[in-house]
Amino acid sequence: MSERINGIIKEKYLETYQVDNIEDAKALLKDVVDLYNAERPHISIRYATPDEVHQSNLLTKPERLWKNYYPKQLTIDIQLQD
């Protein structure tokens, strides 16, 4: 999941800015993460923002709508004969 977030931040936000020094880069990254968490609605949590979900007092959180593309691990029980 973190790789997906990193990719979204890089592709949707950071590639459109010219950054000349590390201080500007840190400030821009902070602003982008704040935007991602507080202002950008996410389809996967029913168009809420991550901050809205984490700060809500709901007993149940919104259903996650993303797909898991990784197959479940199969366990194979092999019994060796002597």
Residue 42 CB coordination number (10 Å): 19
User: Which band of pLDDT confidence, cut at 50, 70 and 90, is reported for residue 67?
Assistant: low
From the CA atom positions of the chain, what is the Rg in Å? 20
> 8-61 pLDDT, tens per residue?
888 887 788 888 999 998 999 899 889 888 988 888 777 888 888 888 865 455
pLDDT for 22:
93
Residue type, 32: V
pLDDT for 27:
93
Distance (Å, rounded) from C-alpha 27 to C-alpha 4? 21
pLDDT for 1:
61
Q: 81: which strand partners? A: none
pLDDT for 21:
93
